[in-house]
Amino acid sequence: MRGQRSLLLGPARLCLRLLLLLGYRRRCPPLFQGLVQRWRYGKVCLHSLLYNSFGGSDTAVDAAFEPVYWLVDNVIRWFGVVFVVLVIVLTGSVVAIAYLCVLPLILQTYSVPRLCWHFFYSHWNLTLIVFHYYQAITTPPGYPPQGRNDIATVSICKKCIYPKSARTHHCSICNRCVLKMDHHCRILFLALLPEASPTNFYSSFISSVALALGALTVWHAVLISRGETSIERHINRKERRRLQAKGRVFRNPYNYGCLDNWKVFLGVDTGRHWLTRVLLPSSHLPHGNGMSWDPPPWVAAQSASVMAV
């Protein structure tokens, strides 16, 4: 590695020495001064990529694509505001069409029991949509504390240069670490009232949105059932392949079982919470503190067997 590096840097060093012989500080033109400064900056960057065993092709690719990442992050940050406005306008237009166009029609054609059912269900659904979407865009996702604490950390964030607890990842759009991060998204809890548009354009548009959100809902339902986030899905897949090559089996340390995973996700601790926290609007806090996690039953069983031995 050192021989290849010296082979690549040899011609560049020769040019640099020639520039220095011309008198870099006093007699060298400003153009040459800029070239020398850029050369020194590039040399520092190259050494920072190759100074230890953790550097490699992935690190070099990340550094090369850093301007692209910066551009995408800043564009997506502004897209969040556009998407929030779009959701509000779209939901408001659907509700307006439902009241102005659909409601007079169903008052003339539906029976009284069916009318009462549609009236109750649609307004219950609309209340949950508005409440949950407002909670989603105004509630902070949760950030690790910046001061000293007794929470165990698992790594150091390369962006924040600060200790990270388990399941914490850096969000490049928020520009800080987020507890149990899944992904950055501003279109949360977006749902549309069914049968609310009399025009072909609105019907096709709502159908496409419903199809996309339906696929996203199914995907996240699978992740919730497994006790994984979108980021942990990729991490666990790599870890599963690595252990499989060694003849070992990977088990997700945050998988409590399908039903218990959904209880943790929904914040259900008692049977009454299925009504007060799931079927009705609720601003309850999520399960746990986001920094420490209880071990699943299979970990506790293994620990008990080891202690018995």
Catalytic positions:
185
Retrieve residue 189's tokens. 């809890």
Cβ–Cβ < 8 Å for 90, 192: yes
Rounded-to-integer distance, Cα 33 and Cα 15, Å: 13
Retrieve residue 278's tokens. 């799931």
By three-state DSSP, how is residue 177 classified? strand
Retrieve residue 297's tokens. 């039953």
For residue 156, the cross-strand partners are 163
Retrieve residue 61's tokens. 């690719």
Rounded-to-integer distance, Cα 250 and Cα 238, Å: 10
- The dihedrals phi and psi of 230, each to the nearest 5 degrees, come to -65, -40
